[in-house]
Chain A
Amino acid sequence: MSQEIKTFTISVYTENNIGLLNRISAIFQRRHINIESLTTSQSEIKNVNRFVIVVKITEDQAIKVVRQIEKQVEAIRAYYHTNDETIFTENCMFKIKSELLFEEPQIQNIIKESDARIVTVNRDFFVLENTGRRHEIEELREKLDKFGIMQFVRSGRIAVTKEEMKVSEILEEFRNQQ
């Protein structure tokens, strides 16, 4: 088993219950594992939630953490994947003074080159939004930083996996069980 520390994306399908976030995050906290990012949302299945958790750990730890998560009564299934096994992205927003848009023509080029989208413009500020890998977002932030950023925010990773996760089958099996 590899003891090399790598980035793993942990996907968890759960019931939609209050308190489950606490229960899942406690599994990481107890093992002194820092959560790089955590996103929860509705999954492709009605009333089933999906957690996408990014951690830097060994594969051995990833296996153990996934088993501890699956042990939780309201977790349906949990999986871990490497970056290569997932398609992933992050989202970011920048709030910047509007005057810069006119005073610093370079900003317009940066926006064009990065495929960022202007969400809104008013007299005081404009808001840029972009989607991409972490290094792409960081690159954009560095470029804009020179001009002054009023606010910056980045979302956690969201990811889909290349392999099937067959959660619907588990639920179907339960439905047919007597």
Chain B
Amino acid sequence: MNTETIKKEVNKAAKTERISGSEAIIRCLIAEGVDILYGYPGGAIMPVYDELFKYRDRIHHVLTRHEQGAAHAAQGYARISGRVGVAMATSGPGATNLITGIADAQIDSTPIVCITGQVPSHLLGTDAFQETDIVGISTPVTKWNAQVTKASEIPEVMAKAFYIAKSGRPGPVLIDITKDAQFEEFDFKYEKCTAVRSYNPVPKTDSNDVKAAAELINNAKKPMIVWGQGVILGKAEEELKAVIEKSGVPAAWTILGASAIPTSHPLNVGMVGMHGNYAPNKLTNECDLLIAIGMRFDDRVTGDLNTYAKQAKIIHFDIDPAEINKNVKVDLAVLGDSKESLALLLSELKENSHDAWLKEFNDLYAIEYDAVIKDDLLPEKEGLTMGEVLKEINNYSDGNAAIVSDVGQHQMIACRYAEFNHSKSNITSGGLGTMGFALPAAIGAKMAEPHREVVAIIGDGGYQMNIQELGTIFQQKAAVKIVVLNNEFLGMVRQWQQLFFDKRYASTEMTNPDFVTIAKGYHIDAKRVTKREELADAVKEMMESDASYFLEVCVEKEDNVFPMIPSGASVSDIRLS
């Protein structure tokens, strides 16, 4: 039997050339269409940096100020563009500093390739200077990883890395390359990988499952869609929109699904989950059919599983068989690529509408508006709210900006209130909840799509976790707009302390530095807003700036985010206050 384990693109034009392993790495990146990579040099990766210098007119290396920043920047690049993000670091601490970004990319299915230098192969296992077992450390948080100790392995491993990162359900791949393999010369030829024997990235969609799904949808009285990032990763936004419009089914989104369908679409009924909208959470427990598309029933979405949509039949469309019945037992699973399965579904659906059912969503929205949204967006109290800042940003962006949020109260407010007209516009750390994500991710997003407005919305806590990336913004002249919503607290933890720990504010109050001075130290235009009457002009000035801009808004210190499903409660027990 033929024991070939991967298939490669036939490239007869490819010539064999004798080059070093490090040059081969750069040539592989160029062949994969990489134009920008993020990283930080060090001893064990120096031969590759030497080649990056020689190839600097063909591939742009961005020096971040910390390897974690490089990983998040690669994520931001991937999330806004759909292309594979690349981060590079040296061995030891350089490699371990990438781990948080890799773990974030794993849980949020973001295609990135991380390349780490490693000590020379003869020193492996000797506790050499800056040696760490990064393949061992990264195993549980990578889709795939490998160590290369011979230059001749580089082309095939790199080809596999890019193929695996972007195919099927995407994810992070780490390639660790020993320094001797970087120096070694060999006969280089690059052929892209097209298949891996042990890996089935896209399960075939069974047309009978699609027909069964269509029948359930066509006959449902109170159907509801919850879509997730699978729609965006599968480039199935148009198909989803067509399905929604033809079937008339109200559709809600998970935090990572945001922006796949425009905010203003009449059948877009908002966000599900812990701080999602009132209607889709409540009505999850009243629908007769729940259609989950490219989402994974995260605990922040479902609340208590024993009381989650028990009355409904559930259909789950997903590319990953491991997600089926993982958290929620479903009545029907439709495996496969969302673009293909939704297109098949569309042809089986009846034209339909559910006006009375949709009105239930709208009525509950009105309740949420009166109880929460009005006070968030049009506050009458003196202190500024996070919501009104988002409202001002919407006024100037017209829903065309990409919003990169960090983690915490401001993230929930950003995802609840930001308006989106374009897909891939909500970039946030969903699954891992990584504070410090937004500033470097915004750099990656802006550099991937320079024509787009990129606004980072960050809390005063998360901002200080990767504040050093202001240096990257300054050096790269990346025109990122940075909004820090400063309440001088780790606000989400403080909210929980208030609600569940009798207001014992243990280590959540922040004594902050002068953020405007810090931004100005990096030669970034900066302004602080403390009064409502200053807000509109300051946001306007920021949005009209062609350069990077820092805006600090001092908001009410002890505001809470509502609605809220308390941890472990049922989605229908969502609280408005």
Interface residue ranges, A against B (CB under 8 Å): 14-15, 17-19, 22-23, 26, 30, 45-47, 63-64, 67-68, 70-71, 73-76, 168, 171-172, 174-175, 177
Contacts and interface: CB of A to CB of B under 8 A. Distances in A.
Contact of B320 (A45, A47, A71, A75): A71
B326 A175 contact: no
Given A19-B146, A46-B1, A73-B164, A171 B197 contact: yes
A73 B322 contact: no
Contacts of A172: 1
B114 to A, nearest CB: 15
A153 to B, nearest CB: 27
Interface in B2-26: 2-5, 7
Interface residues of B, number: 27
Interface in B127-145: 135-136, 139-140, 143-145
A106 to B, nearest CB: 49
A47 B322 contact: no
22 contacts: A14-B198, A15-B197, A19-B136, A19-B139, A19-B146, A22-B136, A22-B139, A30-B140, A64-B322, A64-B325, A67-B321, A70-B321, A71-B320, A71-B321, A73-B196, A73-B199, A74-B199, A76-B197, A76-B198, A172-B1, A175-B2, A177-B7
Contacts of A174: 7, 195, 197
Interface in B413-456: none
Interface string B160-195: 000010000000000000000000000000000001
B440 to A, nearest CB: 27
B147 interface: yes
Contacts, number: 61
Contacts of B4: 175
Contact of A45 (B1, B140, B146): B1
A26 B197 contact: no
Interface in B284-331: 320-322, 324-326
Given A19-B146, A23-B139, A26-B139, A70 B196 contact: no
Interface in B177-229: 195-199
B322 A71 contact: yes
Contacts of B1: 45-46, 168, 171-172, 175
Contacts of B195: 174, 177
